[in-house]
Structures are given as C-alpha cells and as structure tokens.
Amino acid sequence: MSIKVLIDKCTGCNLCVKSCPFGAIRIINKKAVIELSQCTLCGACVTACKLAAIKLDKPATELAGNDKIPKIDDYNGIWVFAEQKKGKVQPVVFELLSKARELAERLSTEVSAVLLGYQLDDEAQNLIWQGADKVYIVDNERLINFQDEPYTNILTALIKKYRPQIVLSGATSIGRSLISRVAIKIHTGLTADCTGLDIDPEKKILLQTRPAFGGNIMATIITPNHRPQMATVRHKVFPANPPDKDRKGKIIREEIEDGHIVSRARLLDIVEELESTVNLTEADIIVSGGRGMGDGKNFALLEELAKVLNAAVGASRAAVDAGWMPYSHQVGQTGRTVCPKIYIACGISGQIQHLVGMQSSKVIIAINKDADAPIFKIATYGIVGDLFEIVPALTKRFKEILKSSNES
Amino acid sequence: MEIIVCIKQVPETTEVKINPDTNTLIREGIKSIINPFDMYAIEEGLRLKERFGGRVRVISMGPPQAESALREAISMGCDEAILLSDRAFAGSDTWATSFVLASAIKKMGSFDIILCGKQASDGDTAQVGPGISSHLDIPQVTYVKKIESIDNGISRVERMTEEGYEVIELPLPALFTVVKEINEPRIPSLRGMMKARSAKITLWGIGEIGIESAAVGLSGSPTRVVRIFTPPPRKGGQIFHGETSEVVDRLVQLVKDEI
C-alpha cells in the first residue's frame, strides 16, 4: 500500500490536514506533505480532498481472501430487507421503502425489496404498491420464522449475486442481529439505528446520521470504499407512503442452495406477551408511567387511556424495578428506545436515562405534580398537577372527541 | 465450561460534549465504568460457572486505562483478564472491533460460550456481538433474557423480541448478547477486590494476536465518521397549571389532530 500527494492538483487548501485523525499531514510551501511514519493509510484525507489530489493505492485483496473485489461502480440499486413476522411485512419496511424511493430518485436507480419467508405472494405485491420496483422473494417453509444463520446465508448470497449499492433494514431486534452478521460476511460498513439518510450530491454516497451517547451526540457516517453501504434505521422516523395500487413491479423468485438453509440454532417456541397491547416500538402513541404512579395497580389508569388512543403502555426504569410493570415495557437507556408521534409521560420525573429513550418523540406530553421535574424542560406540553385526576379526565375527553369524529 | 465475556469501558454519563476546535468528544473529567449491559454479561458468566464449573475469562479492547474495567470484572469473580490494546486499534469501527475481538478469542483457545452486553451505552450500535460470532462463524442469539439449560453441549435460551420472547435451542460453542432482565449483577466482595488489585492483566497488541495493522483501526474500518454534532436541544413548550377540566380541554384541542 502507498499514498502520495499529486503535487500538480494540490492547492494547499488544508482540508486534508483537518481530516487526518493522526496529524500526519502538514502544508509546506502550499502543498500537502504526508509524514509516512505517522500515516496509517486510513484514507480519511482521500475522502476529504475535493480535488482528488491524494492517491491511495490499496492492494486489490484485503481481508476478504482471494475473492476478486468488484468495483464500486458495479453496485447498483437500493435494497430494503422486508422483515416479516407471521407472514406480515413489518410497518418499518414501508417507511424504508418510501425513503428508499426518495434516495433512488437522486441516484437514478431502482428500489428492490428482499422478502424471505413462506407463502408470501400477497405481501410481495404489497411491497410493489408501497414503492418497490422489484421484489426478490425466497419462498421456503423453513424460512417461515426468522433465524440468524439461514437468513444471513441467503441475504449474503443475494447481495453478492446482485450487488446493490445500498441495503437498508429496520433497526429491529431481527434487523440488528441479521444485518450485523451479513455486513461482516460481505466485508462492508454498517451504520446502526440511523435517524437520517441522505445522498451526498457530489460523491453520490449515502450519508447516514445516527444518535450516539443516547442521542446527546449525532454522527454522520459514510462507507466510502466498500459496497453495499448498509444501514439499520429506527422505526417511525420516516413516514410511509400510502399504497399505490397502480404501481407496477417485478417479482423475482430466487432458488437457494440447500446448504444455505441449514441452521445450527432451532426455534422451539414464540411466546407473545404483549398481545393485549400494542407493540411499543411500532406504536404511534405511548402512554408511559413512572415512580409517580405509586403502585402497579394504578397502571390500569394508563391502560384505559391507551385503549382509547390505541396506544402502547410504557414504563420508566423506576416503575419496572419496583415490579409494577414487566421489563418488556421499559423505555430508556436500559430498556427500549421509542420514537412515537405522541409520548405521554405520567409521573415520570425525566432522568436522563429515561429521556434518551424517548426524546426523539414528535410530541411529548408530561403530567407531573412537581413543576420543577426535568421532564418539563423537554415536553411539548406539560400539565402540572395530580395525574390521578388528569389521566382519567384525558381518557374521558379523548373518548368523546374520537367518538364524535367517528360519527361525523 | 470455558466462558469468555467481552466488555467495554464507557463514560459514566451519556451527557458528553464536543470540543468545537477539534471536533472530538470531551472525555476529560468523566468517570469511566463498565458498560452497564456488560455487567449483566459478566454476572451471567459467573452464574454459568457456578452452575457448570469451569472458568470465566474477560476481554476488552480499549486504551491502557481500560485495565481498570478488567480489574473490576476480576473483583466480581472472573478468573482471568486480557486487555487488547494497541495504537493500531485507534479508530476501529464495529467491523474492525469485532475482527480484533474474534481474532483474540481464536488465540485464547477453545471456548463454549461468549457473552456480550446487548450494546454499549456510548455507541449504542449492538453490532459488535453479532460481528464476533459472524467472524468466528458460530451460532448466536441476541437479546437473551434467560439461559434456561445447558445439557450435553446443547443450550436452550430465551430471546427477547418486540412482542415477547422466543425459545431457541442451539449447540455450543455459541455467542449470546444479554439484556438487563437476565440477572442482577453482584457487588464485588472484599476478597474479590483484594484479588483484583494484585491480579495480572495480560496485555495483547497486534503482534500477540497475530493480525495485520492494516486490518484494524481506521484502515481496517469500512465506515468513516464525517461529522459529529450536538443536536439542537429539545426546548420545553407550553406548561399548563390550573383546573383539571380546563387544562385537559386545552391540551386535547392542541393534540387532537395528531391522533
């Protein structure tokens, strides 16, 4: 490997100096000079240079062994992993398809969905209505439920075969397990839990923005020299387009090798605990309770409100640790991160560990008797008062309003 | 049973600031701790040892200071600790980090179970655990909330999902990432703390692990961070005081179009 500055192109603009994480570049006589003893050949300066004045020669094969690495330009199209559960494509997939359409316009390319499962023809059609130009479908009884190994093998094989430039998946418990494994096998970059996706207008690469440190820092990440560019994306961040039943697309059936379907792990049982309520991460509205609820049985108040609003019930760590709600309902740093349209925090003071799990919600409503509670600092609307009075009043009022709007 | 626990040292708080001159995170003056999710991984490792015998080895990739996290793991009861530290590791993304950890694990000899926290509280990626199992080509289960049984090299575990949980059976060796529900981490005993103070922490760099510097750090990382910034702080909005019926009416009027 070697790196050099093309002296005739370099204008000494200093961009490479700023980009170098190792302080290995200086400007001498208006030209960039790379101190090779400090340089790690990371390529950050190559990406930063607007004049293509730095040339990094990498050996054609790196870690991936002796596979011939295809060129970046050989990769085309945007893929969305169409996660399904019990034969139903998950809502986050439709959100990704509409975002993928927008990105595809800017790259003048097409959008494909990849669907693994069993007897999913109707869902494949649905994916076309929701924005896919093509649907690659792998239909096999043994793929009916997600399992890490066969899903990894098949998705990896399909990516190698068709070479999409971008692969997106929901940042779900399935997506985050599966795509992490696939990115290693493909040897490409993966950005977790993105909340922003954009295309760099000049370089035509994917700009992936994601929260870190519980949302206190945002980072924009690129995958400059590997393909596909892969990202998992948070639920509810991008709106889904309504289905367009006039949209036409192509359904492509993929045959798979028997070896790809072998799984060392065996799924014995699926237990649903949240059947009576709405899935927390997919909910448009969440009614959440904290220490101020005082007792587990008082969560019935929140459940009534949630029922009226078709909302899910969440809880702070304090409420879960007190045994009032199961851990699966916990919102916050050690629980789930949620991003609903409306988050109603009842008797939650707003410790930072809770806020990092819900502060990207569109509207936050806080109900707390302590006017100094930190939750009010981030709430869109706050009510200072007794939640045991306010929550039932809200339930009653919403019920009236929704009833009259249904009748009109 | 040979158990390996992977841990990361993280800042104690997520309220970090950016130095506007260097565009890097300000870490000075912030206390470092073991990533909270990794505490559950350590505890589960110790419980497996209590159930089935064997030893628990803990590894961490990080700067030399990460040694203190490993000492804390020993004080809880882990038998051995290896620190993977080398200047060449600086700037590693999840691909390169999982490659370093997987390569070190290969070097450590045979193992039955690798445990990781479900994600780290600083990066929040949840990608390194699955990355390690992918590099090692062993089966994995993420978001494990219970290790029900291990019998004749076959484990049965519960994996937390959005709707509930799955019961999965898989042969060892395997990798599990664990969630908070799995256990309650123990407090180190006085004896443990004494032992940790004098324990030998093995230090491995690229030479000891036997990997190329080009494969790790920034040069081995497919991703690049091009910008970090502080999101605009969420501002407080309208606060209502007063008669319940009145404030409830006003609030419902304001949000009814969102429902």
Closest partner CB to B124 (pick from A63, A192, A221): A192
The answer to whether residue B154 neighbours chain A at the CB level (below 8 Å) is no
Fill in the DSSP letter of residue A219: E
- Average pLDDT over chain A reads 90
Q: What is the CATH number of the domain that holds B92?
A: 3.40.50.620
The reply to whether ipTM tops 0.90 is yes
Question: Which DSSP string corresponds to A66-125?
Answer: TPPPPPGGG---EEEE--EETTEE-HHHHHHHHHHHHHHHHHT--EEEEEEESS-HHHHH
Domain presence at residue B250: no
Q: What's the CATH class of domain A72-261?
A: alpha beta
Q: Which two tokens stand for residue A229?
A: 């560019």
Taking an 8 Å cut-off on Cβ atoms, the answer to whether B143 and A173 are in contact is yes
First to last CA, chain B: 54
Residue A359 contacts by C-beta under 8 Å, 6 or more apart in sequence? A215, A378, B234
> For position A199, what pLDDT does the model report?
97
> For position A69, what pLDDT does the model report?
59
Lowest-confidence region among A116-120, A124-128, A350-354 = A350-354
Q: Where along chain A do the CATH 3.40.50.1220 domains lie? A: 280-407
Quick: pLDDT tens for B4-20: 999 999 988 777 777 76
Provide the 10 A C-beta neighbour count for residue A218.
19
Closest partner CB to A384 (pick from B213, B241, B251): B241
Domain presence at residue B233: no
Question: Which DSSP string corresponds to A298-327?
Answer: GHHHHHHHHHHHT-EEEE-HHHHHTTSS-G
Superfamily of domain A280-407: TPP-binding domain (3.40.50.1220)
Taking an 8 Å cut-off on Cβ atoms, the answer to whether A381 and B15 are in contact is no
**Per DSSP, what are the bridge partners of residue A285?**
A342
| Residue corresponding to tokens 């003071």 | A349
Domain holding B166, by residue range, is 2-225
Rounded distance between C-alpha atoms, residue A101 and residue A108, angstroms: 10
Confidence of residue A40 (pLDDT cuts 50, 70, 90): low
Closest partner CB to B123 (pick from A180, A212, A223): A212
First to last CA, chain A: 71
Closest partner CB to B15 (pick from A1, A352, A398): A352
Q: At CA A131, angle to CA A129 and CA A134, rounded to 5?
A: 90
Using alpha carbons, list the distances in angstroms from residue A275 to A253, A271, A280, A313, A379.
Answer: 33, 10, 11, 12, 30
| Residue corresponding to tokens 């799924």 | A267
Residues of B with CB below 8 A from A173's CB? 142-143, 159-162
Taking an 8 Å cut-off on Cβ atoms, the answer to whether B133 and A149 are in contact is no
Domain presence at residue B37: yes
Fill in the DSSP letter of residue B236: P
Nearest to B225 by CA among A209, A3, A49: A209
Rounded distance between C-alpha atoms, residue B4 and residue B144, angstroms: 16
Domain presence at residue B86: yes
Query: B52 pLDDT exceeds 90?
Result: yes
The answer to whether residue A69 neighbours chain B at the CB level (below 8 Å) is no
Beta pairing, strands A2-5 & A54-57: antiparallel
**Percent over 70 (pLDDT), chain B:** 97
Residues of A with CB below 8 A from B15's CB? 213, 216, 352
Rounded distance between C-alpha atoms, residue A302 and residue A313, angstroms: 7
> For position A67, what pLDDT does the model report?
47
The better pLDDT of the pair A165, A217 is held by: A165
Query: A65 pLDDT exceeds 50?
Result: no
Domain presence at residue B192: yes
Chain A residue with Cα closest to B38:
A334
Query: B104 pLDDT exceeds 80?
Result: yes
Taking an 8 Å cut-off on Cβ atoms, the answer to whether A214 and B215 are in contact is no
Question: Which residues 352-371 of chain A have a CB within 8 Å of chain B?
Answer: 352-353, 356, 359, 362-365, 371
- Distance in Å, alpha carbon of A88 to nearest chain B alpha carbon: 14
The answer to whether residue A236 neighbours chain B at the CB level (below 8 Å) is no
Q: Where along chain A do the CATH 3.40.50.620 domains lie? A: 72-261
Q: Which two tokens stand for residue A348?
A: 């939650």
Q: At CA B116, angle to CA B44 and CA A143, rounded to 5?
A: 105
Closest partner CB to A191 (pick from B160, B223, B251): B223
- Crossing angle (nearest 10°) for helices B94-107 and A173-186: 80
> Count of CB contacts below 8 A, A vs B?
292
Fill in the DSSP letter of residue A240: P
Nearest to A385 by CA among A342, A344, A347: A347
- Crossing angle (nearest 10°) for helices A148-162 and A173-186: 50
Closest partner CB to B121 (pick from A85, A214, A272): A214
Domain presence at residue B147: yes
The better pLDDT of the pair A56, A194 is held by: A194
Nearest to B133 by CA among A173, A184, A158, A62: A184
- Distance in Å, alpha carbon of B198 to nearest chain A alpha carbon: 32
Residue A31 contacts by C-beta under 8 Å, 6 or more apart in sequence? A5, A7, A10, A12
Residues of B with CB below 8 A from A62's CB? 214-215
Domain presence at residue B128: yes
Query: B216 pLDDT exceeds 80?
Result: yes
| Residue corresponding to tokens 């990094």 | A56
* Residue type at A363 in one-letter notation: V
Domain presence at residue B152: yes
**Per DSSP, what are the bridge partners of residue B4?**
B57, B114
Q: What is the pTM of this model?
A: 0.84
Report whether A99 contacts A66 (CB < 8 A). Answer: no
Quick: pLDDT tens for B133-150: 999 999 999 999 999 999
Confidence of residue A79 (pLDDT cuts 50, 70, 90): very high
Count of structural domains within chain B: 1
Quick: pLDDT tens for A163-205: 999 999 999 999 999 999 999 999 999 999 999 999 999 999 9
- Which CATH number is correct for A2-57, 3.90.1150.10, 3.40.50.10490, 3.30.70.20, 3.40.50.300? 3.30.70.20
Torsion angles phi and psi, residue A101, rounded to 5: -60, -45
Query: B91 pLDDT exceeds 60?
Result: yes
Residue A287 contacts by C-beta under 8 Å, 6 or more apart in sequence? A302, A305, A306, A309, A311, A312, A313, A314, A344, A346
Query: A61 pLDDT exceeds 50?
Result: no
Taking an 8 Å cut-off on Cβ atoms, the answer to whether B95 and A173 are in contact is no
- Crossing angle (nearest 10°) for helices B67-76 and B36-52: 40
A13-17, A326-330, B173-177, range with greatest mean pLDDT: B173-177
Query: Which residue out of B23, B228, B251, B254 would a mutagenesis test of the A interface target, given it has the greatest number of A Cβ atoms within 10 Å?
Result: B251
